[in-house]
Chains A and B, each alone.
Chain A
């Protein structure tokens, strides 16, 4: 029962963009339930509406029609400030291009979400940032600037930043899009670990093999979900990494 609790309930979600007199339907009535602890991979061609859907799920945008419930609370009609608070406390974002603040240390980047959280004092902030960075294996790179870090390390800082406010959901928009396969697997390893710890993950990806790390795959087309299936043979990132790395010294310490 507890396992089947719905974290996200989306019903008849529609998003219409108006450009002049032309109405563009980005989403045409999406209904979807995501249970707590789910790991969903969304794919679809560009223009299929998956980005719009992610933006609405991430509370960055509001739907034109339909309802969107997080933990049984409707958030589709919230105003900008309420959405910002939701994003801060319930949602963590991981982007394709990392989006770390330049010329800012890893630690400061991870502290960033807590600066907008009234419930965290400065002592807690430092402690939590430290823990988050340690959990992604970057305890030794606290004072590094983004340009001193590799792509994988930057993405791990971004994941630490997404995790630091203890969110319910992680929204990842092509988190491995800018990374090589080895580093992608490392990131997936972290994602699977987070997921095992009970964090729900919604991830957009183009790569079929990356989608195999998720628990279920959803495919978008023309603003509609055309398939939603559970991954039969789910890959384990740690195992895949071991296969990928023939040399034992290259085994990640994550």
Chain B
């Protein structure tokens, strides 16, 4: 009953000063809105990263050279070549949980077609690679295991290469010859467009040729490979497959039990965790910047409430003279602060969602608006109202009615 009356009293005073109420609310609206929008962007990019890492193939296992120790001096990761072609063959022959394995050699190469030339990446892989990464040709066809055995002078190219060598992404270069570091290769297919990956790399700026072709004709028959990519038979077998591969490679590299691995086995989930945590840090950063504006909004409430207490000293005096207890005045001012922050929080959520949608539409950034972020900013803003409303309300409640009535 009494609390209902106090809510009525608080709402009446807020209503009497609409402009001041709205301006005070604005701080909270902007604060909550930016927290919602920032979290939406952060979580959106997080999910996007996870999705694009998953698009590399969820069962994929990467084996890259690790660190080695030379004369007691440890080298950095992947500084030396420690993985050999026969490692890939051993994995293929001996690992039960792995269905596809492909060694990968890669290098930058100048590509020439007619009067055009372009610097791109050439990747030498087995046909398994295409299966692991589920690559297929948009035009023409892919190469076969036979092409690899015969080191056939064929290649697949990405649309960026097509665009740069043939003038348009829509050109059909299948059957044409390009020269890669003066080795002529016949284009057998154009890869499906993959676009940029999450890390901003253009995945279409690529030439894929059979492993033997690149190894023998472009890399002078090196036995070392840049990496090995394998895939586990199923998702639950990934960690077992990783153990299996690790054991086999340790045997193959004749490592003693006390030696560290001279290679690193990574899975997509590792990768997605790594980038996921990067984006999580980013999200926290964005959200904490946004919550500063929420804090500033809260201080705005306190500021206005303090001014309001001074301005309404006589009113408080009258209220006390006619029977308001200190507690009643305290509650009234607290309710005013909470109503401002609560209503501001509600409007802020709407504004935040609206702004996120606008960003998604015009900037093309992925957004995810989670219930969590809405609840968080909502609770946070109401708590701010409580916190910053307390001091001014306390001040109002502790006024002496005689002095308050005399206040000019």
Bound-state Cα–Cα, A113 to B328, Å: 12
Whether a CB of chain B sits under 8 angstroms from the CB of A81 is yes
**Provided the pairs A60-B401, A101-B318 are in contact, do residues A117 and B323 lie with their beta carbons within 8 angstroms?**
yes
0 or 1 for each of B392-408: is its CB under 8 Å from A? (1 = yes)? 00000000011001000
The reply to whether B12 and A118 form a contact with Cβ atoms under 8 Å apart is: no
- Residues from chain A with a CB closer than 8 A to the CB of B328 are 84, 116
- Residues from chain B with a CB closer than 8 A to the CB of A102 are 16, 315
A99 to chain B, nearest CB (A): 5
B5 to A, closest residue via Cβ:
A115
Bound-state Cα–Cα, A80 to B327, Å: 10
Interface residues of A (CB under 8 A from B): 55, 58, 60-61, 80-81, 84-85, 87-89, 92-93, 95, 99-104, 108, 112-113, 115-118, 121, 161-162, 165
The reply to whether B326 and A60 form a contact with Cβ atoms under 8 Å apart is: no
The reply to whether B402 and A84 form a contact with Cβ atoms under 8 Å apart is: no
A165 to chain B, nearest CB (A): 8
The reply to whether B323 and A103 form a contact with Cβ atoms under 8 Å apart is: no
The reply to whether A58 and B326 form a contact with Cβ atoms under 8 Å apart is: no
The reply to whether A87 and B323 form a contact with Cβ atoms under 8 Å apart is: yes
List 13 extra interface pairs beyond A84-B323, A162-B322, CB under 8 A: A60-B321, A60-B401, A85-B323, A87-B321, A87-B323, A93-B322, A100-B318, A102-B315, A103-B17, A104-B16, A108-B12, A116-B5, A116-B328
- Residues from chain B with a CB closer than 8 A to the CB of A93 are 321-322
The reply to whether B324 and A84 form a contact with Cβ atoms under 8 Å apart is: yes
- Residues from chain A with a CB closer than 8 A to the CB of B401 are 60
Name 20 interchain pairs, CB-CB below 8 A, sorted by A.
A60-B401, A61-B402, A80-B325, A84-B323, A84-B326, A85-B325, A87-B321, A88-B322, A92-B322, A93-B321, A99-B405, A101-B318, A102-B16, A112-B319, A113-B322, A115-B5, A116-B322, A116-B323, A116-B325, A118-B1
A55 CB contact (under 8 Å) in B6, B318, B327, B402: B402
- Residues from chain A with a CB closer than 8 A to the CB of B323 are 84-85, 87-89, 113, 116-117, 165
0 or 1 for each of B303-335: is its CB under 8 Å from A? (1 = yes)? 000000000001101111111111110000000
Whether a CB of chain A sits under 8 angstroms from the CB of B9 is yes
Bound-state Cα–Cα, A161 to B327, Å: 22
B334 to chain A, nearest CB (A): 16
Whether a CB of chain A sits under 8 angstroms from the CB of B8 is yes
From B16, B322, B325, B327, residue with most partner A Cβ within 10 Å: B322
A-B CB contacts (within 8 Å), total count: 70
The reply to whether A99 and B327 form a contact with Cβ atoms under 8 Å apart is: no
The reply to whether B402 and A99 form a contact with Cβ atoms under 8 Å apart is: no
The reply to whether A115 and B321 form a contact with Cβ atoms under 8 Å apart is: no
B1-51 contacts to A, CB under 8 A, are: 1-2, 5-6, 8-9, 12, 16-17
B9 CB contact (under 8 Å) in A88, A100, A115: A115
**Provided the pairs A81-B327, A116-B324 are in contact, do residues A99 and B318 lie with their beta carbons within 8 angstroms?**
yes
> What is the interface residue range for chain B against chain A?
20 to 34
Bound-state Cα–Cα, A197 to B5, Å: 30
Bound-state Cα–Cα, A209 to B401, Å: 30
The reply to whether A87 and B322 form a contact with Cβ atoms under 8 Å apart is: yes
A170 to chain B, nearest CB (A): 12
The reply to whether A80 and B326 form a contact with Cβ atoms under 8 Å apart is: yes
- Residues from chain A with a CB closer than 8 A to the CB of B320 are 60, 84
Bound-state Cα–Cα, A116 to B8, Å: 12
A14 to chain B, nearest CB (A): 17
The reply to whether B325 and A84 form a contact with Cβ atoms under 8 Å apart is: yes
0 or 1 for each of B107-144: is its CB under 8 Å from A? (1 = yes)? 00000000000000000000000000000000000000
The reply to whether B322 and A81 form a contact with Cβ atoms under 8 Å apart is: no
The reply to whether A81 and B326 form a contact with Cβ atoms under 8 Å apart is: yes
The reply to whether B12 and A104 form a contact with Cβ atoms under 8 Å apart is: yes
A118 CB contact (under 8 Å) in B2, B314, B326, B405: B2
Bound-state Cα–Cα, A60 to B401, Å: 7
Bound-state Cα–Cα, A76 to B320, Å: 18
Bound-state Cα–Cα, A61 to B328, Å: 19
Bound-state Cα–Cα, A104 to B6, Å: 16
A113 to B, closest residue via Cβ:
B322
- Residues from chain A with a CB closer than 8 A to the CB of B326 are 80-81, 84
From B17, B317, B324, B401, residue with most partner A Cβ within 10 Å: B401
B258 to chain A, nearest CB (A): 78
B322 to A, closest residue via Cβ:
A113
B376 to chain A, nearest CB (A): 36
**Provided the pairs A101-B315, A115-B8, A118-B1 are in contact, do residues A161 and B402 lie with their beta carbons within 8 angstroms?**
no
A61 to B, closest residue via Cβ:
B402
B314 to A, closest residue via Cβ:
A99
The reply to whether A121 and B1 form a contact with Cβ atoms under 8 Å apart is: yes
- Residues from chain A with a CB closer than 8 A to the CB of B16 are 102-104
- Residues from chain B with a CB closer than 8 A to the CB of A60 are 320-321, 401-402
Bound-state Cα–Cα, A55 to B8, Å: 29
Bound-state Cα–Cα, A75 to B276, Å: 69
Bound-state Cα–Cα, A115 to B5, Å: 6
Bound-state Cα–Cα, A147 to B144, Å: 93
